[in-house]
């Protein structure tokens, strides 16, 4: 098991249309353990560029952090990859005090957008 925190990648359409792909992950050292469920599989995340912010506190107002990173990207002419990623730095698995939760919110950028802003 890796010491890295769990996370998830979500298509924008989950938030805008109520449906889309979601991938939830728990970093671990390969290979998968014997007897692992067929629902679990190895996933190697590609290198990515994103606008990021750390959301502090419960997830009730996580949408405000999404709005801030999305607004920053738009104002700076950065094109979205239509994916967001959350990394659960501190969450319910760590503490039962939601005010201590920390969630990294990453607005993933299209590869051509990232190159043009460098």
Buried b (16+ CB within 10 A) or exposed e, 31-62: eeeeeeeeeeeeeeeeeebbbebebeeeeeee
Average pLDDT, integer, range 20-47: 87
Confidence class of residue 52 from pLDDT cuts 50, 70 and 90?
Answer: very high
Output the six-digit token pair for 41: 């599989």
Full-model pTM: 0.84
Query: What domains lie within the chain, and their CATH numbers?
Result: 7-31+43-117 (3.20.80.10)
Contact partners, residue 46, CB within 8 Å, separation at least 6: none
């Amino acid at each position: 098991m890796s010491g890295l925190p769990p996370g998830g990648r979500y298509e924008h359409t989950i938030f805008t249309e109520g449906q889309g792909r979601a991938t939830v992950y728990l970093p671990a050292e390969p290979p998968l353990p014997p007897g692992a469920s067929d629902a679990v599989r190895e996933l190697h995340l590609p290198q990515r560029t994103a606008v990021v912010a750390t959301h502090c506190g419960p997830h009730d107002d996580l949408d405000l952090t999404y709005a801030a990173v999305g607004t920053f990207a738009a104002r700076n002419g950065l094109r979205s990859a239509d994916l967001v990623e959350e990394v659960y730095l501190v969450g319910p698995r760590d503490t039962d005090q939601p005010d201590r939760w920390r969630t990294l919110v990453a607005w993933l950028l299209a590869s051509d957008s990232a190159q043009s802003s460098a």
